[in-house]
Structure 1
Amino acid sequence: MSMKFCDECGALLPANEASGECDQCGASFERANRELEKPEENTEQSPNTELEQLPTTGSGSVKKADAMEWLEDLDRPSASELRRATIEKPSDFTGSTFPTDISTIRLTGHAEFIETVAGLFSWIVEMEDYSRRVEINLKETEDKETGEQTGNYALYLSVAERG
């Protein structure tokens, strides 16, 4: 199934409608709809992003100076860019998402940090609809040695296809 998103606000547009207005912002479908394009698997193709072009060390890490310059030069993404860049976890997926292209956000730190930075990811809540669900795990972390709560938190966010 091909999903279309409004270019103005990033909202999911109704399926099987070639024209009309976005329910969220009123933008016209005819000029505001774009297919969701998932990036192709990494199969020895030319780099598509600046990130893929950054030089790496022998261990595969990007040097701090290069990473800092890259981060500083990034523009704030629009809601539709965020939605198009997010790769959902397939409904039948099992195992670790770490080595896959599935999009996952992980934050760890003290409560004030988590609450402040999590506000940058509130757009992900709007991605939940009839075809996908938001996975959220928010918990206080515990010390592995003592088993006691640390007062710090972990937040994990991702989007998964509904099964």
Structure 2
Amino acid sequence: MDQLQPLNLPPFPFKISDGNGQLTLFDEIRKKHIIITPEEWVRQHFVQYLINQKKYPRSLIKLEGGLRLNGMPKRTDIVVFNPSGKKILMVECKAPSVSINQKVFDQVARYNITHKIGLLAVSNGLEHYYCTIDFNKQNYQFIEELPDYTGSANLRQ
């Protein structure tokens, strides 16, 4: 099944079930079984990457949080908080078949008008882009790698 294609993220031994012809996996964050769509496959891998490789605390990760943009309800894929509740990272996940292009970055930028988060990531599971936002200077800078939670004091404060 192409939904479970290998990604450019570390593999993880998900608990996958096949019920009525639909593959599901247990989402450790939301504590329930989720139907595996291509985007969900990327989201779940990215969450495990954040937890296992980058050491972001599981308890500070929220999936599919709601927001309103121009009066319309929208959903962010992954938002990470620091211990005091400040949003420190937003991740937008796309299916592997979706190219990461200007339209995707524009979507993340629109969402971030509401959130005002200084660290953004965009991934389709194959390509990953990271950038920092300086709201005072009104600019952004792409960075090569996502900072570790433990090694970045500015993320934790």
Question: Common fold, TM-score beyond 0.5?
Answer: no
Higher strand share: 2
